[in-house]
Amino acid sequence: MKENYYNVIGVMSGTSLDGIDLAHIHLSKKEEQWKFSILEAETIPYNAAWLKQLKTAVNYSNDELEQLNENYTDLLANCILTFIQKNEIKNLDAVCSHGHTILHQPEKGITLQIGNLSKIATLINETVVCDFRIQDVALGGQGAPLVPIGDRLLFSEYYYCMNLGGFSNISFEANQKRIAFDISPVNTVLNFYANQLNLPYDDKGAIARKGQLNTDLLEDLNQLDYYQLSFPKSLGVEFVNQIVLPLLESYPISIEDKMHTFTKHIAIQTKNALPVIEQKILITGGGAYNDFLIEAIQETLPKMTIVIPDNKILEYKEALIFALLGILRLLNENNCLSSVTGAKKDHSSGSIFYKIG
């Protein structure tokens, strides 16, 4: 049986605003089995001006969003081109880019990921596959999460795959279907309070560890309507800005106490989300570096085997999977699962912009 190889760059920018993740990926497929290798990888942080824009863009007018999309596509193209030249990467099959989510209101048929304009292919002179969410929302789906197809094809040895980024999301097999959904906010909230202390994030959860648990706040957080919904379901920054932060701010307690309590809340919601609690779970994303958070999750799930992979997989798993999603799109194979998003059918999603020549 022939083995097919693909030379790809995966690009991801998450809601935690850590920066733009770029990963050079080799993918191969033989007898329906996919394998991967992460080669060069880098995260390019946003400068202060871009951070401010991305944090406030949810309130922009349509004209402002159009201009932001133009500017962000230019930024993304420049980062990708610099990455290609720096690492002397040649003979790419595609650059597969998620873009950056600004609006995500699937119940209204709205989702916007900036950086996915067609000019990006011209600017970097490579075939680009991007804008993976729009078609799913048009088919009645949540447009998220998209990573679970990659969990199934690349990480099948784990019962659960969980990413701790701006939000936490979980993925697993149930009744021969892939199930996945967003669990709760994570770094969108923890980083918000770390920023108030003039820090980019809470290193290893040290600040949260110093705080005290506020049981009333914890109970209020756990009673939020989202946690009572059945899947498929997904979260956006709107949920944090309109519901979670106002609730946290209504409590006149220290930042340390808010972060401590919210960390415990994340752990409780993680436990509540898992139907089986004696299995093996792969945890990736920036939150995997938060020792206090990992300890809190382990405390609520004492019989769960937590696996934190090497740094490349931990940090670049989403970029890796978007590389896979892009190749699946080029092959016209399904990369969005209706069991995950709630769309009318499984489908192959994403815009393809071919390089010229």
Question: Could you read off the pLDDT of 157-180 as tens digits, one per residue?
Answer: 999 999 999 999 999 999 999 999
Average pLDDT over residues 57-66: 96
Domains of the chain (ranges; CATH) run 4-140+348-353 (3.30.420.40), 148-312 (3.30.420.40)
- pLDDT for 2 equals 73
What pLDDT score does 1 carry? 54
Output the pLDDT for position 231. 86
116 band by pLDDT with thresholds 50, 70 and 90 = very high
The pLDDT score that the predictor gives to residue 196 is: 97
pLDDT of 327 over the 70 cut: yes
Instruction: Note the pTM of the prediction, 2 decimals.
Output: 0.89
pLDDT in tens, 206-263: 999 999 999 999 999 999 999 999 988 889 899 999 999 999 999 999 999 999 999 9
Q: For residue 76, what are the CA distances in angstroms to 89, 146, 191, 335?
A: 17, 21, 23, 23
Confidence of residue 145 (pLDDT cuts 50, 70, 90): confident
HEC readout, 134-165: HHHHHCCCCCCCCCHHHHHHHCCCCCEEEEEC
Specify the DSSP element, H or E, that contains 76: helix 62-86
Mean pLDDT score across all residues of the chain: 96
Cα 67–chain centre separation: 24
Average pLDDT on 279-292 reads 96
